[in-house]
Homo-oligomer: A and B are copies of this chain.
Amino acid sequence: MKQHLILIVSFLMFSVSFSFAQTDQSAIIEDFKPSVLNQPGREYPQVNSQGYARFRIEAPDAQSVVVSLGLGGRGGTTLTKNDEGVWVGTTEGPLDEGFHYYHLTVDGGVFNDPGTLNFYGSTRWESGIEIPAHDQDFYALKNVPHGFVQQVLFPSESTKTCRRAFVYTPPCYGKDPAKRYPVLYLQHGWGEDETAWSNQGHANLIMDNLIAEGKIEPFIIVMTYGMTNELRFGGIRSFDITPFQTVLIDELIPYIDANFNTIADQPHRAMAGLSMGGMETKTITMNHPEVFSHYGLFSGGTYAPDDIKDKSKVKLIFMSCGSKERPEGVRNADAALKEAGFNSVHYVSEGTAHEFLTWRRSLYHMAQLLFK
């Protein structure tokens, strides 16, 4: 458990340190375009081809407007009021490719940028901005058959609530009522919720594209809320996996198997998670080797050979992180697992940190290894 505490603390440290690509002092290219995550009709925020982000906030009587996206630890990007009384500013350097959470501090109060869509992270709905990635094609919305993302409300005796999950079903699902599918249970990170993997993760589009290209056999993905004990900054020391484990193993999985066309056995059930969701995945797969056969930790720690009691029950271990995290961790763990005879794979996302592009790519790679 102590190891878990250290892990969580390191997640939090990652979460608050925004990561820039190498600071580039050369001229900023003036080819800024609205971020693809902007609200309909909104021109700002914008991003340019180098990955700089530019903000424009109307608050004519404000004393100070700061954007939380900035060089790590140096207080974000301070906007300045222009001649029209509008607050404008550009990041000091290019941002990493992919998705970033952010918010504004207006006269000391925390608000979202009214120009962008909101995404649940840091236990609040935050603003989001997207720096186009060179490999964005794999999660692009294309003219291919699309699966559905279904909001499911399932009863939970243990928490005395009706809980929400999102279920991705592949495009072919239901066409042949007799066909049944394997299932991946996929967890979000600390401060996020069950909306993260479809909203900022594009899990459904990643799957649609992989299926359309014939790279994988279709499977179902189930995403639910993994913070049953309302984990907050102050509550980390009391983190206990039991409440969520009960919801997942005793309530959600039986509900999914009763209501969807699943192959309801261990060989056809996987669990993966990002960051804190990886820690949950590790703990739950170790506690319940009879439930899952394929394990994935995305920026969420590693397995050691000794963690696993019965090697024969594990069909795949997938561990990943961004190159700006500590890739030697997953590399070394992967080597040790291979040495011990496990089917282990590691993946390092080039040029990314503890952010969602790392995890989109991780899902893309792990999906191609599942249920073989």
Contact = CB atoms under 8 A, between A and B. Distances in A.
Interface residues of A, number: 45
A149 interface: yes
A162 interface: yes
A149 B150 CA distance: 5
A106 B152 contact: no
A87 B70 CA distance: 28
Interface in A104-129: 104, 106-112, 114, 117-118, 123-125
Interface stretch (A26-34, A59-67, A283-291, A317-325): A59-67
Interface string A123-154: 11100000000000000011100101111111
7 contacts: A59-B111, A62-B108, A112-B112, A114-B124, A118-B118, A143-B155, A146-B153
A162 B60 CA distance: 38
Contacts of A64: 61
Interface of A: 39-41, 57-64, 104, 106-112, 114, 117-118, 123-125, 141-143, 146, 148-155, 162, 167, 174, 177, 198, 204, 230, 232
A75 to B, nearest CB: 16
Q: From A142, A143, A155, name the one whose CB has the most chain B CB atoms within 10 angstroms.
A: A143
A109 B58 contact: yes
Contacts of A41: 123, 230, 232
Contacts of A61: 63-64, 107-108
Q: A-B pairs with the 8 shortest C-beta distances? A: A59-B109, A61-B107, A146-B153, A62-B107, A177-B177, A60-B108, A111-B111, A149-B151
